């Protein structure tokens, strides 16, 4: 029925209907975003070659949903994303202010002496790239680069019918902190 409504709303245009369905999923997800998520799972993922490992906690509203194959598959996808994209934070709000400000200062220093038309715009663009590189929710999904992890979560919320929150993660890489 949702597909029929989407096609009617889009005047028969399949691409527009897809956008409409995504938008509806976002609206549903926003309505559920205030709900508490006391249940969920902690999952692990060890990448081929045993050189990268991830532990991730993903929460949902009920233990019933947490035990479903759909939810568990979603959590595994998130763990694979973390292994592949190496984020440092879940969301941009998690970046400590001093790190964000330090990154801003580095960018400003590299632009000094260069005659750029709009240095503030360049600084903003580079900071946005820093956020995408370091924040899981802002990263493009490794299995579908056209959506972000935030979009993927919204899709799963619409599919499952419960709020989902990526609470925390740890990513280990063999030899990561060793100077060679």
Alpha-carbon distance of 22 to 24, in angstroms, equals: 5
Does residue 109 lie within any of the structural domains?
A: no
Looking at the structure, do residues 144 and 90 belong to the same domain, yes or no?
yes
Residue 22 and residue 46 in one domain: no
Asked if 71 and 27 sit in the same domain, the reply is: no
For residue 165, the SS3 value is strand
Residue 102 lies in a domain: no
In a domain, 46, yes or no: yes
- Is residue 7 included in any domain, yes or no? yes
Tell me, yes or no, whether 178 lies in a domain: no
Indicate which CATH number applies to the domain containing 79: 3.30.479.20
Residues 89 and 157 in one domain: yes
Work out how many domains the chain is built from and give that number.
2
Residue-wise pLDDT tens digits, 6-24: 667 777 777 776 776 666 6
Residues 143 and 88 in one domain: yes
pLDDT of residue 122: 87
Considering the domain architecture, whether residues 146 and 165 belong to the same structural domain is answered as yes
| Domain-embedded: residue 112 | no
**Same domain, residue pair 1 and 85:** no
Q: Report the pLDDT value the prediction gives residue 9, as an integer from 0 to 100.
A: 74
Dump strand ranges (E) for 29-139: 39-46, 52-60
- Give me Rg for the CA atoms of the chain: 19
CA 100 to chain centre: 19
Per-residue pLDDT tens digits for 153-175: 988 988 888 899 999 999 999 98
Q: Specify whether 51 is located in the same domain as 85.
A: yes
Q: Contact at 8 Å (CB) between 86 and 132?
A: no
Q: What is the pLDDT of residues 77-121, one digit of tens each?
A: 999 999 999 999 999 999 999 999 999 999 888 888 777 777 788
Average pLDDT over residues 24-44: 69
Do 23 and 84 fall within a single domain?
Answer: no
The proportion of the chain whose per-residue pLDDT surpasses 90, expressed as a percent, equals 61
Q: At residue 60, does pLDDT exceed 90?
A: yes
Mean pLDDT along residues 51-78: 95
Q: Specify if 75 maps to a domain.
A: yes
Average pLDDT, rounded, for the chain: 86
Q: Which domain holds residue 152?
A: 38-95+135-173
Residues 77 and 159 in one domain: yes
Question: Among 1-15, 32-46, 142-156, whose mean pLDDT is lowest?
Answer: 1-15
Give yes or no: residues 7 and 78 share one domain: no
């Amino acid at each position: 029925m949702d597909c029929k409504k989407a096609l009617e709303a889009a005047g028969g245009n399949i691409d527009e209907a897809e956008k409409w369905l995504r938008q509806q999923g976002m609206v549903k997800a926003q309505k559920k975003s205030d709900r508490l998520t006391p249940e969920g799972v902690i999952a692990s993922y060890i990448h081929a070659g045993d050189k990268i490992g991830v532990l991730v906690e993903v929460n949902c509203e009920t233990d019933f949903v947490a035990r479903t194959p759909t939810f568990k598959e979603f959590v595994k996808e998130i763990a694979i994303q973390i292994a592949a994209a190496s984020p440092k934070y879940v969301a941009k709000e998690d970046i400590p202010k001093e790190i964000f400000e330090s990154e801003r200062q580095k960018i400003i220093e590299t632009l000094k002496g260069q005659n750029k038309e709009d240095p503030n715009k360049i600084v903003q663009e580079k900071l946005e790239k820093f956020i995408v590189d370091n924040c899981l929710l802002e990263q493009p999904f490794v299995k579908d680069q056209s959506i972000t992890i935030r979009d993927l979560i919204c899709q799963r919320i619409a599919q499952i019918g419960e709020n989902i929150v990526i609470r925390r993660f740890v990513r280990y890489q063999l030899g990561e902190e060793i100077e060679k």
